[in-house]
């Protein structure tokens, strides 16, 4: 089953350009919390993946940085974003989930651990990437 997901995403990448993956705060925070190898896992399953984060997600991270116990997690996430050449998408969205749903409707794959956002995106046929059991990358 995982193999067919990779094949489908690989074919789409070669025909229409790279597979654009945009991250939600919830999945990014799994990097320090679960020691998840998010970027490596996505690269294994998604051919020609190109990584993005929205300004609204970066604002959420900045807000979390001020909370007790989150500063170091946010710093780890920021380093991972830089190390993996994640590009920032400008947006006028105040709400990160609204912006991510908009990106999904435009062909982006949304990487999230937020169950409500997953339902919302799957509801209109968008594609998502999420962690299963805190480690394995799954694609729908």
Q: Is the dihedral of CA 83, 97, 122, 70 positive or negative?
A: positive
Report, in angstroms and rounded to the nearest whole number, the Rg of the chain calculated over CA atoms. Answer: 14
Answer whether 86's CB lies under 8 Å from 23's CB. Answer: yes
**pLDDT of 1 above 60:** no
136 pLDDT band (50/70/90 cuts)? low
Q: What is the pLDDT of residues 66-81, one digit of tens each?
A: 888 889 999 999 999 9
Helix (H, G, I), strand (E, B), or coil: what is residue 128? strand
Share of the chain above pLDDT 90, in %: 64
Helix (H, G, I), strand (E, B), or coil: what is residue 51? strand
Least reliable range by pLDDT among 52-61, 84-93, 108-117, 122-131: 84-93
- Mean pLDDT for the stretch of residues 123-133: 90
Strand partners, 131: 137
Share of the chain above pLDDT 70, in %: 86
* Tokens read off for 131: 């962690």
- pTM for the full predicted model: 0.85
DSSP 90-119: P---SSHHHHHHHHHHTTPEEE---HHHHH
Domain boundaries, the chain: 2-139
Which CATH entry fits the domain spanning 2-139: 3.30.70.1450, 3.40.50.720, 3.40.50.1010, 3.30.70.2740? 3.40.50.1010
Confidence (pLDDT) at 16: 59
């Amino acid at each position: 089953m995982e193999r067919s997901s990779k094949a489908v995403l690989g074919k789409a990448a070669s025909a229409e350009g790279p597979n654009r993956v945009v991250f939600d705060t919830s999945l990014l925070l799994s990097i320090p919390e679960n020691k998840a190898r998010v970027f490596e896992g996505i690269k294994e399953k998604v051919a020609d993946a190109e990584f993005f984060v929205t300004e609204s997600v970066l604002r959420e991270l900045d807000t979390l940085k001020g909370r007790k116990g989150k500063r170091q997690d946010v710093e780890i996430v920021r380093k991972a974003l830089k190390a993996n050449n994640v590009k920032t998408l400008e947006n006028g969205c105040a709400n990160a989930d609204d912006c991510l749903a908009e990106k999904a409707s435009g062909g982006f794959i949304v990487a999230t651990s937020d169950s409500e956002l997953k339902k919302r995106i799957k509801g209109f046929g968008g594609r998502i990437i999420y962690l299963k059991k805190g480690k394995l990358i799954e694609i729908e």
